Structure 1
Amino acid sequence: MKIAVIGGTGLIGSQVVRNLTAAGHEAVPYALSTGVNVITGVGVDEAVAGADVVVNLTNSPTFDDASPAFFQTSMDNLIAASAKAGVGHFVILSIVGVDQVPDLVYYRAKVLQEDLLRAGSIPFSIVRATQFMEFVDTTLSWTSDEKSVRLPRTPIQPIAAADVAAAVAEVAAGSPLNGVRNIAGPEVFALDDLGRITLKAKGDSRPVVVDDTAGMFAAIKGDVITAPADADLAPTRYADWLATT
């Protein structure tokens, strides 16, 4: 099966391509670096031509008010090209609980991306994942200084990028879900506790101060971005992942 992986050179996309190739599929990575621009449309028709499946792993370069326009334009271009090419399955990666966080513009933008896919004519699958373990350091950096790290107590359930890529590759190689598959890591942490675990593992002595107004995750209420009852739990535990980084 020929599978076009748009955004196929990034953290998730490169691993999806490797997994699909190892499974015997013709997985081809496309990105700006290969001449495919999902905003201008340059190279998009050529990328999806002859593909049985399109996996769209492109992401907005910012989390701000520009993100809805990115997803609107990129999805319009990719869906139109895929429909014209006769693609039989279109896959995107989204976020667990994304439709329950209306206060974050980036989450609203991802909901828009999902809605555009659902409204199209192509059979589809949406893989919703919890927050990546690889992004914990970035999350801490948003609200840290030389003396401390401020974090809210938001419950999160981090998942390793390798486990996300495995799930996306499995879905891409299967029949369209015409719905959502939720995936999550095996453990739930309060974000402030996860910060303490991370800093200790890195030999960083700064204290974590609970601040329920700090950072992007402060806008998330309750446990809406942890695994719902139907989620598949990935095997990689955070401590084991930390030990390998």
Structure 2
Amino acid sequence: MEFAVIGGTGLIGSQVVRDLNAAGHDAVPHALSTGVDVITGEGLDAALAGAEVVVNLTNSPTFDEASPEFFRTSMDNLVAGAVRADAGHVVVLSIVGVDRVPELDYYRAKTLQEDVLKAGPVPYSIVRATQFMEFIDAVLSWTADGDTVRLPRTLLQPLAAAEVAATVAEVAAGAPLNGTLDLAGPEVYPLDELGRITLAARGDTRSVTVDGSAGLFAVVRPDVLVAGEGARIASTRYTDWLR
């Protein structure tokens, strides 16, 4: 099968391309760096020409109030491009619990992206994933202050990026779900505990202090980002991934 992977040079996209090609498909990565601009539409028709499946892994350059317009415009352009290319399946990667966090601009923006795709004429699949293990260090950096990292007790279910990519590739190569698949890591941690485990594994002597007002996840209700019944559970444990 022929795949156009938009956002195909990033953390997840590059692995999706690799996994699809390893399975015998023809997956081509496209990104701003390769001349494809999902906002202006530049290079988009050429990128989608001949593609049977379009995988959208693009991301907003910001997490603030500008992100909804990015996801609305990019998804509108990609759906229209998929129609012109006569593609039969569009796949996007989203976030578990994304529609339950209206307090965050970025989560509202990702929900909007899903809604635009669902309302379009092309069969679709949405893969919702929990937080990537690869991003935990960045989460700690948001609220680091000298020798202390301040973190709320929000529950996370960390997931290895490789397993996200493998699932996206599998879904993309299958029949459209016209629905959503939730994917989550095998263990649930309060964020402060996750911080302590991470710092210890890195040999970092900073301490973690519980602060219910600290960072992006402070406004998230405790269990909103944890997968519910029916989710697919990945196998990689966070402590094994750290090693």
Q: Given the two structures, how large is their TM-score scaled by the length of structure 1?
A: 0.98
TM superposition shift of 1:67: 0.2
Q: What residue number does 1:86 align with?
A: 86
Which amino acid counterpart does residue 196 of structure 1 have in structure 2?
R
Which amino acid counterpart does residue 149 of structure 1 have in structure 2?
V
Equivalents in 2 of 1:99, 1:73: separation in Å? 19
Q: What residue number does 1:190 align with?
A: 190
Secondary structure of the residue aligned to 2:21 is: helix
Task: Mark the runs of 5 or more structure 2 residues left unpaired by the alignment.
Answer: none
Q: What residue number does 1:117 align with?
A: 117
Which amino acid counterpart does residue 210 of structure 1 have in structure 2?
V
TM superposition shift of 1:19: 0.2
Which amino acid counterpart does residue 174 of structure 1 have in structure 2?
G
Task: Mark the runs of 5 or more structure 1 residues left unpaired by the alignment.
Answer: none
What is the aligned-residue identity percentage? 69
Equivalents in 2 of 1:70, 1:130: separation in Å? 22
Q: Which deviations, in whole Å up to 9, do the C-alpha atoms of 1:195-236 show, x marking residues without a partner?
A: 000000011111100001100001100211111111100111
Equivalents in 1 of 2:192, 2:222: separation in Å? 14
Counting only pairs closer than 5 Å after superposition, residues 166-185 of structure 1 correspond to structure 2 as: 166-185=166-185
Equivalents in 1 of 2:162, 2:25: separation in Å? 18
Equivalents in 1 of 2:62, 2:234: separation in Å? 28
Q: What residue number does 1:99 align with?
A: 99
Q: Which deviations, in whole Å up to 9, do the C-alpha atoms of 1:117-140 show, x marking residues without a partner?
A: 000000000000000000000000
State the number of aligned residues: 243
Secondary structure of the residue aligned to 2:204 is: coil
Which amino acid counterpart does residue 44 of structure 2 have in structure 1?
V
Which amino acid counterpart does residue 184 of structure 1 have in structure 2?
A
Q: Which deviations, in whole Å up to 9, do the C-alpha atoms of 1:143-178 show, x marking residues without a partner?
A: 002220000000000000000000000000000000
Instruction: Kindly report the root-mean-square deviation, in angstroms, between the aligned alpha carbons of the 2 structures.
Output: 0.5
**Runs of at least 4 residues off by over 2 Å:** none
Q: What residue number does 2:214 align with?
A: 214
In the alignment, is the contact (CA less than 8 A) between 2:117 and 2:124 conserved in 1? yes
In the alignment, is the contact (CA less than 8 A) between 2:153 and 2:222 conserved in 1? no
Which amino acid counterpart does residue 22 of structure 2 have in structure 1?
A
Secondary structure of the residue aligned to 1:80 is: helix
Q: What residue number does 2:63 align with?
A: 63
Secondary structure of the residue aligned to 1:164 is: helix
Equivalents in 2 of 1:5, 1:147: separation in Å? 42
Q: What residue number does 1:131 align with?
A: 131
Q: What residue number does 1:24 align with?
A: 24
